[in-house]
Structure 1
């Protein structure tokens, strides 16, 4: 199969779809890999690395799309890429269709095969291609939240870990999934007091078992959310419904109950966000303020640490890329139920239920 890797063109997105090691494995399996020049530079992988791994370097994104049967990306295609996508071409990337009608309509019109990383699902219900980026984003949520609590950036002026004689900051985490647990781990490591909410008691029991005593769990209800937002300094939204829009757990009217300078970090922004006041931002201009509450809603948080993120992503996507390349998408999806769940749009038809809602 002819596989293409283009340079990501979304704002401040420096990750790349495949590492040189991934290219090497595909070439070893007798596939042809086209890589756009400088595609990996932002992640620390240079053209010479890809050439040495067996890739064919092409100057433009247009050339890569034109020659490739499958495109392996990181982020969803943007408007500039829509006309380049061909009928029956496989696009394997994060799509998050539920948050963009424009993207959904464009991919329907292209009649391509859209396989979304975020809906590939194992037998046990885990999302293997979303997990590593959720791990990165969960950890970054605390890293960024701690920074934006600083007064020069309009935060409350609180050091999350506190110091002797001064109590630590308080972190409220909505969702005890991968994002929530990684955020709790980072916040606890800094010495913050952490409250994590979820509607799944099994998850809360797990958190209670593995986290230190200054991480406390509570069943998530509107009442408990309204209670805790009055006293917590950093609030992280990490709720995910696979392939569908995230629920709005914090509404606009709740902002008035928060202390001025409270920081909201919405890790669910790719799925529409779990705060009513969420609007996607970029690493170039990451925050905005509503009712004296700082919002950090960067849609590609892991893009800020592209070396780590690209390695973590290729670790999990490469086995699936190889299956598709070796067998073709139809046979690969027939034989692998987890990959089959990644099919979102096929030749102009929506085949994933979550997008229709």
Structure 2
């Protein structure tokens, strides 16, 4: 028996020509405390912890890891988790469940042949970290790379929905006089021209941001080079939304009048990356606002790329334009984001427990197998390999039957 992900991210049983025996095994899942200065989300909630323990897993969580989402150790302990005091203990688990990308020090604490799951965040991963993973034959999986049977990542969809909605809240806040903005209301009231919101990227985050901005009365213009996405968003939101491909002259005219520009391009597993040039940003009105939702992939704008560097301010001004560049805007609503992640994990890990562990589940589920960028220490994802100029292997070579 195996399990296959559906559009709803639920997993159901599917029969094979060759029967695979059901194998319940006991694995230890470790939940380390994130660096809560930059990452407040946590992979699982106490409710999901209880369900994982019921499925046969042992859950080990570092003390105070849940404080950023307002869950004390007692909540996790009552749910069946084992609370440990040191990070080193957590990293001896079979599976390390993180949100931010693993660091060199964290991989150093992992035992050989274990697995680490996290968001990709390529600009936070070093070549030295990958080399250590290779040496220890680590399995490293990125949530953005997992897909369901409709070729959509449930993790990207969930987080993009949150980030798209919250980006409009951030825009409203930063445009106000209280935060040094122009002192304008995002939206519109009778007798006053509505705020103009420009969105670069017509994916989930862009669509949700557009819907939220329209609800407030703003004028919304959306750009993307995928005509199918533009057609879909036009169908969903109606003719009130202006849509266009990334035509330089059209962009220039729109940027001159924009009050808010939101960068929401999709970069994962893409061969061509589009970034808005500094020349366009120079032509924006003084006091306007840029919000970049793709900082973990290097940013959507040339002026935000520098904010990927360590200790760079997340809010800064350039050419009289205010820039908001948090690594993950959903970390501002960490509890909501953590619950959204947990809802996906419980389905995935329940199926994994039934199928017999990480390797066996990867063998029978292509969508899950696609999530690995390192498998048994071998680079198996071309997008990550190209970023680090590493040779890439076909994961099917290590998973008989895939």
| TMscore range, shorter length | over 0.9
Q: Displacement of 1:225 after TM fit?
A: 1.9
Superimposed CA distance per residue, residues 165-184 of structure 1 (whole angstroms, 9 cap, x where no aligned partner)? 10111000011101101111
Q: Displacement of 1:79 after TM fit?
A: 4.5
* Distance in 2 of aligned mates of 1:95 and 1:111: 18
Give unpaired runs (5+ residues) of structure 2.
1-26, 387-402
Matched, 1:296 2:324: yes
Indicate how the Cα distance of structure 1 residues 47 and 245 shifts in structure 2: closer, same or farther if over 3 A, else same.
farther
What is the TM-score normalised by the length of structure 1? Answer: 0.92
Which stretch has the larger CA shift, 167-176 or 149-158? 149-158
Q: Displacement of 1:108 after TM fit?
A: 3.9
Indicate how the Cα distance of structure 1 residues 184 and 285 shifts in structure 2: closer, same or farther if over 3 A, else same.
same
2:302 to 276, 292, 295: 276
Q: Which residue of 2 aligns with 1:86?
A: 111
Indicate how the Cα distance of structure 1 residues 138 and 77 shifts in structure 2: closer, same or farther if over 3 A, else same.
same
* Distance in 2 of aligned mates of 1:181 and 1:340: 28
Q: Which residue of 1 aligns with 2:370?
A: 341
What is the TM-score normalised by the length of structure 2? Answer: 0.83
Superimposed CA distance per residue, residues 99-158 of structure 1 (whole angstroms, 9 cap, x where no aligned partner)? 644454554454311011011012322111121111111112111122222345443332
Q: Is the 8 A contact 1:3 1:32 kept in 2?
A: yes
Q: Displacement of 1:330 after TM fit?
A: 1.4
Q: Displacement of 1:10 after TM fit?
A: 4.9
Q: Displacement of 1:220 after TM fit?
A: 2.5
Q: Is the 8 A contact 2:36 2:68 kept in 1?
A: no
Q: Is the 8 A contact 1:97 1:243 kept in 2?
A: no
Q: Is the 8 A contact 1:35 1:58 kept in 2?
A: yes
Rg: which structure is higher? 2
Indicate how the Cα distance of structure 1 residues 58 and 269 shifts in structure 2: closer, same or farther if over 3 A, else same.
same
1:203 is paired with a residue whose SS is helix
Q: Which residue of 2 aligns with 1:210?
A: 236
Q: Which residue of 1 aligns with 2:16?
A: none
Indicate how the Cα distance of structure 1 residues 109 and 149 shifts in structure 2: closer, same or farther if over 3 A, else same.
farther
**How many residue pairs get matched?**
356
Q: Which residue of 1 aligns with 2:359?
A: 330
Q: Which residue of 2 aligns with 1:178?
A: 204
* Distance in 2 of aligned mates of 1:282 and 1:234: 26
Matched, 1:166 2:192: yes
RMSD: 2.2
1:49 is paired with a residue whose SS is helix
Matched, 1:142 2:168: yes
1:137 is paired with a residue whose SS is helix
Give unpaired runs (5+ residues) of structure 1.
none
Q: Which residue of 1 aligns with 2:268?
A: 242
Superimposed CA distance per residue, residues 59-97 of structure 1 (whole angstroms, 9 cap, x where no aligned partner)? 11111112x000111111235423212321110111233
1:119 to 145, 150, 156: 145
